[in-house]
Chain A
Amino acid sequence: RKEVEQDPGPFNVPEGATVAFNCTYSNSASQSFFWYRQDCRKEPKLLMSVYSSGNEDGRFTAQLNRASQYISLLIRDSKLSDSATYLCVVLSNTGNQFYFGTGTSLTVIP
């Protein structure tokens, strides 16, 4: 079983829509979780860390469900500039290995 699994999409949504991505992880002892954004042919960039209580940064909301071992990312009022691949990243409980999902592709359409 993969450490981290994501729906690769693609998700094609109109501007202004709300879109949600989920990601599941296999190791229940994992402690830290992140969402990264990767534009075509560029490096991944940290979008936000995911905290146990959930956290929000502008139009972006991240949540963690430990019981079901999944994290989510919600994007409200989608902009054209949100088009990218969103990577779910889980840090091992030993703190020495980051596990990446394959990424979810989002295209926001005018």
Chain B
Amino acid sequence: ETGVTQTPRHLVMGMTNKKSLKCEQHLGHNAMYWYKQSAKKPLELMFVYNFKEQTENNSVPSRFSPECPNSSHLFLHLHTLQPEDSALYLCASSHAPGGSASPLHFGNGTRLTVT
């Protein structure tokens, strides 16, 4: 079983739809992240949760709504998205920040297309 699992792998949705992305990690980490990767751009941090508490919200539009019920699960709820929101959405986890440096471990991503 992979360390960080994301579902679905692919998602096509209309601008009026509501959908959710799911992420689960089995690495015993306490920090979880959502990143967006658009073509030709570096990864953009969206949200960070540390011990289930949101510690970063990188000026993300409210049409993206994260939820972290526990340290192992992370959701990204989507509603009224725009075509420019089409991208690869990556979940990642790490040990809690502030201690010894822990690299990020990524899930395999959800490729989202907004029509």
Residues of chain A having any CB pair with chain B under 8 Å? 4, 31-32, 34, 41-46, 49, 87, 89, 91, 94-98, 100-103
Cβ of B99 within 8 Å of any chain A Cβ, yes or no, is yes
B33: nearest chain-A partner, CB-CB: A98
Assess whether B104 is in contact with A43, with CB atoms less than 8 Å apart: no
B41 contacts across to A, CB distance below 8 A = 102
Q: Are A95 and B98 in contact (CB under 8 A)?
A: yes
Bound complex: CA A4 to CA B50 (Å): 24
Contact at A97–B45, with CB atoms within 8 Å?
Answer: yes
| Further contacts, 6 of them, CB under 8 A, given A44-B43, A96-B55 | A4-B42, A42-B108, A44-B106, A45-B106, A89-B103, A98-B33
Counting contact residues on chain B (CB < 8 A from A), the size range is 20 to 34
Q: Which of B43, B45, B88, B103 contacts A49 (CB 8 A)?
A: B103
Q: Which secondary structure characterizes the binding site on chain B?
A: loop
Of all chain A residues, the one with the shortest Cβ separation from B104 is A98
B21 at the interface (CB under 8 A from A): no
CB distance from B20 to the nearest CB of A (A): 19
Measured CB to CB, the nearest residue on chain B to A49 is: B103
Q: Are B97 and A95 in contact (CB under 8 A)?
A: yes
Best-buried of B55, B99, B104, B109 by chain A (most CB within 10 Å): B104
Assess whether B103 is in contact with A96, with CB atoms less than 8 Å apart.
Answer: no
